Chain A
Amino acid sequence: MKELRHIITDELGIHARPAAHLVKRCSAYESEIMIGTPAKMVDAKRIMGVMGLGLKCGEEVTMTFNGPDADQAILDLQAFLKENL
């Protein structure tokens, strides 16, 4: 299992639009991808859960990747988080 961490810099946190983009990006991969904080991880391919995390600006988000295309996914999502959140 691979893992990445990112501190959210977007003022609104993970709001609806980036959440939608993030879920779409993750859904393109076969790997199991989880997102959240150590206290609560949810399936990153389900928007209700991702939005339900209510992650705010300044908080650290953790993503875990488990599956055949995990290497590729982690690079892609790392770039996505950096650019959008």
Chain B
Amino acid sequence: MKAYQGRGINNGIAFGAAFILKKAQHHIDDAPAQNPDGEWARFLAAKKEADNQLEALMEKTQRELGQDEAMIIDVQRMMLLDEDFDDAVRGIIYDGGHRAPYATNQAGTHFAAMFAAMDDDYMKARAVDVADLAGRLTQILLGVSTNLHLTAPSIIIAEDLTPSETLQMDKSKIRAFVIQQGSDTSHTAILARIMNIACIIQCDIPLDEAFSGQEMAVDGAAGICYLVADDATRANLLEKQKNDEANKQQLLEMKGLPTITADGRTVRLYSNIGSPDDIPYVLENDAEGIGLFRSEFLYLGRDSFPSEEEQFEAYQKVAQAMGDKQVIIRTLDIGADKQADYFKLDAEENPALGLRGIRICIERPDIFTTQLRAIYRASAFGNIAMMFPMIASVWEVQHCNQIAADVRSQLVNEGHTIGKVEIGIMIETPSAVMMADELAKEVDFFSVGTNDLTQYALAIDRQNNKLDRFYNPHHPAVMRMLGAIATAARNTGISAGICGEMAADTKVTKTLIDMGFDKLSVSPAYTLALRKVIREIG
């Protein structure tokens, strides 16, 4: 039995097959080929391997989905064996003097562009097949694996996971995450909390392919994972799992009870979600609304902007599922640590202080308007509100309010039914805190993003685990800021909530309610535990 230690950030015991996810390295250098014949041979070998993979995939698809779907894979196989593709790669290796991964990538780009340029939507879409194929070949050449297909209940072991990687996985088969890097607030950690599964970060486990498929046990509370646990360890873990289950039962008794302190103060207990898929977790945990619907997940893991219709459907789905409970959609908050290529954002020295959040929406009104139209249209189907992220100045709010008002009247003119739609802002920059009294006059509510606010206030990068010693989530500077925000909201008569990780931090729940925050939005899994704590206050 081998044991590996890290930091457990979500409790729970999990058993599953180890799934090693090696980071796809997108670094393809254009160093000259020393030996073109060797590079060509590498390409041919990769082609053979890709064909084997596709053949297996085709058989599986045929078995599970039928002949029509399998044909799509067959087309990729034929593209792979196509001599035009070979010619292009050969030319780049021999005439261009480049190495095989670079040549493959270039040839893929060339043919994908050819399809993308055709005046036929069906053929345009084939660009994806070519890109997929070239990506497969390149990965084989570079020896990286990005197989995200889970066949059994699995424990995902990786350096770290990107949002788009986790999106592609079948969540129902993920039992736990064990990652080498990460922090409390990294995406993997957030996802683990939403799914309420065990997660170990900063773990010393190697990404050894030999582990693949072996039985693994994870103890989230202790931050330890075992590779093929011995009988005594397994028995111990099963016992713990039983206790966890008993605690869970206790929390279930909180279902259906109002969230009100012992001294009579009512708190709105909401959930944070990343996609409509999270709704079952929200309902299961009896949350009273959605305090943060992160809309950027609609934009990630794809290669073009989501259409108004597509967004409308996602928002409508959530609004309908929640009925008369409020759903607060945060408008696009992309940039910094979350990016998609098709936005064509320039690389930045300092993305946390760069073009992100509302700044992108102000610079690219077309993107913003599409989203606002979808939100307003969906508002006819439930109780929708929206909020703008990364606000630093009063004019930004006025500007966005104006755009929203224009979109709204345009839709009314088009004959659409539109709901009330309260507008709020995220308070997550020190500047917004200082201006809170002015900002409060422009909006219906505040929602504090404590993760970003803390990082900007303390000048500490939340992804940098070397700074853990300097990072104090309850830093007096942050607590004073929170007090000032709640006071400004109260003085103007608007609602103030918290949707950052601090909302779930039971050490400060009483303090936050005393300050005047009336809305706490947390990962669905924390809802009932937090309700229990709130009901004991006073």
A20 at the interface (CB under 8 A from B): yes
> In the complex the two chains form, is A49's CB within 8 Å of B84's CB?
yes
Of residues 161 through 191 on chain B, the ones whose CB sits less than 8 Å from some CB of chain A are none
Q: How far is the CB of B411 from chain A (nearest CB, A)?
A: 35
Q: How far is the CB of A66 from chain B (nearest CB, A)?
A: 18
Q: Say which residue of B71, B75, B83, B119 sits within 8 Å of A46 (CB atoms).
A: B83
> In the complex the two chains form, is A47's CB within 8 Å of B82's CB?
yes
> In the complex the two chains form, is B115's CB within 8 Å of A51's CB?
yes
Of residues 65 through 85 on chain B, the ones whose CB sits less than 8 Å from some CB of chain A are 71-72, 74-75, 78-79, 82-85
A68 at the interface (CB under 8 A from B): no
Bound complex: CA A8 to CA B120 (Å): 16
> In the complex the two chains form, is A16's CB within 8 Å of B119's CB?
no
> In the complex the two chains form, is B122's CB within 8 Å of A12's CB?
yes
Q: How far is the CB of A8 from chain B (nearest CB, A)?
A: 13
Bound complex: CA A45 to CA B87 (Å): 14
A48 at the interface (CB under 8 A from B): yes
B123 at the interface (CB under 8 A from A): yes
Q: Using CB atoms, name the residue of chain A closest to B68.
A: A17
Q: Using CB atoms, name the residue of chain A closest to B111.
A: A48
- Contact A16 B75, CB 8 Å, known A48-B111, A54-B120: yes
Chain A residues with CB below 8 A from B235, complex form: none
Chain A 45-63 per-residue mask, 1 if CB under 8 angstroms from chain B, else 0: 1111101101010000000
> In the complex the two chains form, is B120's CB within 8 Å of A47's CB?
no
B412 at the interface (CB under 8 A from A): no
Bound complex: CA A49 to CA B123 (Å): 12
Chain A residues with CB below 8 A from B118, complex form: 52, 54
Q: Using CB atoms, name the residue of chain A closest to B77.
A: A20
Chain B 113-130 per-residue mask, 1 if CB under 8 angstroms from chain A, else 0: 011001110110010010
Q: Say which residue of B72, B82, B83 sits within 8 Å of A16 (CB atoms).
A: B72
Q: Using CB atoms, name the residue of chain B closest to A13.
A: B120
Q: Using CB atoms, name the residue of chain B closest to A24.
A: B78
Chain B residues with CB below 8 A from A12, complex form: 122
Bound complex: CA A24 to CA B111 (Å): 20
Q: Using CB atoms, name the residue of chain A closest to B114.
A: A52
A34 at the interface (CB under 8 A from B): no
Bound complex: CA A12 to CA B126 (Å): 13
Chain A residues with CB below 8 A from B85, complex form: 48
Majority-rule SS of B interface residues: helix
Bound complex: CA A32 to CA B84 (Å): 15
Q: How far is the CB of A42 from chain B (nearest CB, A)?
A: 9
Q: Say which residue of B71, B74, B83, B123 sits within 8 Å of A51 (CB atoms).
A: B123
- Contact A20 B78, CB 8 Å, known A48-B85, A52-B115: yes
Bound complex: CA A49 to CA B122 (Å): 16
- Contact A15 B123, CB 8 Å, known A47-B75, A48-B111, A54-B118: yes
> In the complex the two chains form, is A47's CB within 8 Å of B79's CB?
yes
A23 at the interface (CB under 8 A from B): yes
Q: How far is the CB of A72 from chain B (nearest CB, A)?
A: 22
> In the complex the two chains form, is A20's CB within 8 Å of B126's CB?
no
Q: Using CB atoms, name the residue of chain A closest to B123.
A: A54
Chain B residues with CB below 8 A from A24, complex form: 78
> In the complex the two chains form, is B84's CB within 8 Å of A51's CB?
no
Of residues 14 through 44 on chain A, the ones whose CB sits less than 8 Å from some CB of chain B are 15-17, 19-20, 23-24, 43
Chain B residues with CB below 8 A from A46, complex form: 82-84
Chain B residues with CB below 8 A from A16, complex form: 71-72, 75, 126, 129
- Contact A23 B78, CB 8 Å, known A48-B84, A51-B115: yes
Q: Say which residue of A17, A49, A52 sits within 8 Å of B75 (CB atoms).
A: A17
- Contact A20 B74, CB 8 Å, known A51-B126, A54-B118, A56-B120: yes
Chain A residues with CB below 8 A from B74, complex form: 20
* Most central of A17, A45, A48 by chain B CB within 10 Å: A48
* Most central of A13, A15, A45, A54 by chain B CB within 10 Å: A54
Q: How far is the CB of B246 from chain A (nearest CB, A)?
A: 55
Chain A residues with CB below 8 A from B78, complex form: 20, 23-24, 47
Bound complex: CA A20 to CA B82 (Å): 11
Bound complex: CA A20 to CA B342 (Å): 30
> In the complex the two chains form, is B79's CB within 8 Å of A48's CB?
yes
- Contact A20 B75, CB 8 Å, known A12-B122, A52-B115: yes
Q: How far is the CB of B109 from chain A (nearest CB, A)?
A: 13
Bound complex: CA A51 to CA B116 (Å): 12
Q: Say which residue of B83, B84, B111, B122 sits within 8 Å of A15 (CB atoms).
A: B122
Chain A residues with CB below 8 A from B111, complex form: 48
Q: How far is the CB of A7 from chain B (nearest CB, A)?
A: 18
Bound complex: CA A12 to CA B120 (Å): 9
Q: Using CB atoms, name the residue of chain A closest to B81.
A: A47
* Most central of B75, B78, B83 by chain A CB within 10 Å: B78
Chain A residues with CB below 8 A from B84, complex form: 43, 46, 48-49
Bound complex: CA A17 to CA B67 (Å): 11
Chain A residues with CB below 8 A from B82, complex form: 46-48
Bound complex: CA A43 to CA B123 (Å): 19
Bound complex: CA A17 to CA B73 (Å): 10
11 pairs of residues in contact across A and B, judged by CB atoms under 8 Å:
A13-B120, A16-B71, A16-B75, A17-B71, A23-B78, A24-B78, A46-B82, A46-B84, A48-B82, A51-B115, A51-B123
Q: Which 4 A-B pairs have the closest CB atoms?
A: A48-B84, A47-B78, A16-B75, A54-B118
